């Protein structure tokens, strides 16, 4: 008993490195970080000097680094993305608009990641700090690149990744005959023709993913000095904390290290039963 009690101090708190993704992704994660700090964990957030919502505060230790764009340039890109989401139109038109917007936003995020991993002073600090784990949102794999470089266990905090990369990375089943794709407005109960439609709607995802994720694979391969793909990077995760539940989303296959945490979002409202 005395031996176990002596080990409690070692397990009581840890040192966590956080590489967040800006926007609503950060608003959800910030809630989690506040709870972790209340439990005694040391949390250090790495973020660019220019961001939408990731700002220094009294409760969060933050290490910032310079990026090659201004606040005005970032705001313009994100406002365009938000306006585009609310536009209707035919499926092909929406895909083309999404493709163009994805190129703009992904270029901005890629520049952010590039300046993080090539900041030698910041990387030296991260190596010397000896973190226990890294928490990141894998919708963009910059945190996964840092985790592999520092050889840290990773915890992913996400809702979903474009093109279903979380399924590919975890080898989780994601059949188009069962799981509805984006824009189809289908349910998990489909007729044969609806299943065909669901499969066809999945095809453009391959092209969109190349635009967004292939530059990260090239960046990671150059930085880590070994050939890696984005699924390779995502496959490192120890735990996937998935912000889904079966009240608001259709049932889908899950793997043992994918944990549904539900209810963690940027709105401070409780859902009715």
Please list the residues that pair with 44 across neighbouring strands. Answer: 17, 61
Upper half-sphere CA count for residue 237 (Cβ side, 13 Å): 32
Name the maximum alpha-carbon separation found in the chain.
Answer: 68
For 153-261, strand residue ranges (E) read 154-158, 239-242, 258-260
Give me the pLDDT at residue 264, please: 60
Give me the pLDDT at residue 263, please: 63
Give me the pLDDT at residue 5, please: 57
Distance between CA atoms of 201 and 176, rounded to whole angstroms?
Answer: 9
Give me the pLDDT at residue 180, please: 84
Give me the pLDDT at residue 266, please: 52
CATH class of 13-260: alpha beta
Give me the pLDDT at residue 164, please: 82
Mean pLDDT in each 10-residue stretch from start to end of the chain (273 residues)? 56 85 87 89 94 83 92 82 74 76 82 95 95 95 96 92 86 84 81 90 76 89 95 94 77 87 62 53
Give me the pLDDT at residue 15, please: 93
Give me the pLDDT at residue 217, please: 94
């Amino acid at each position: 008993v005395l031996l176990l009690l002596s080990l409690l101090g070692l397990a009581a708190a840890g040192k966590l490195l956080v590489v967040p993704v800006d926007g609503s992704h950060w608003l959800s994660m910030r809630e989690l970080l506040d709870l972790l700090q209340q439990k005694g964990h040391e949390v250090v957030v790495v973020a660019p000097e220019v961001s939408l919502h990731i700002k220094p505060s009294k409760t969060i230790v933050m290490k910032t680094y310079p990026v090659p764009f201004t606040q005005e340039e970032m705001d313009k890109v994100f406002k365009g993305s938000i306006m585009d989401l609310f536009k209707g139109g035919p499926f092909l038109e929406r895909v083309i608009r999404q493709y163009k917007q994805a190129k703009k936003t992904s270029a901005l995020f890629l520049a952010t990641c590039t300046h993080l991993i090539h900041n030698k002073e910041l990387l030296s600090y991260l190596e010397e700090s000896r973190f226990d784990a890294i928490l990141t949102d894998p919708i963009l794999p910059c945190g996964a690149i840092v985790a592999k470089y520092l050889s840290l266990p990773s915890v992913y905090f996400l809702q979903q990744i474009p093109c279903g990369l979380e399924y590919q990375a975890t080898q989780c089943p994601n059949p188009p005959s069962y799981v509805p794709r984006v824009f189809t407005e289908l349910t998990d109960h489909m007729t044969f023709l609806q299943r065909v439609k669901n499969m066809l709607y999945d095809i453009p995802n391959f092209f969109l993913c190349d635009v967004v994720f292939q530059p990260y694979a090239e960046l990671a391969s150059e930085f880590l000095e070994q050939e890696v793909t984005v699924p390779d990077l995502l496959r490192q995760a120890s735990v996937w904390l998935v912000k889904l539940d079966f009240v608001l989303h259709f049932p889908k296959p899950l793997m043992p290290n994918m944990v549904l945490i539900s209810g963690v979002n940027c709105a401070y409202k409780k859902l009715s039963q």
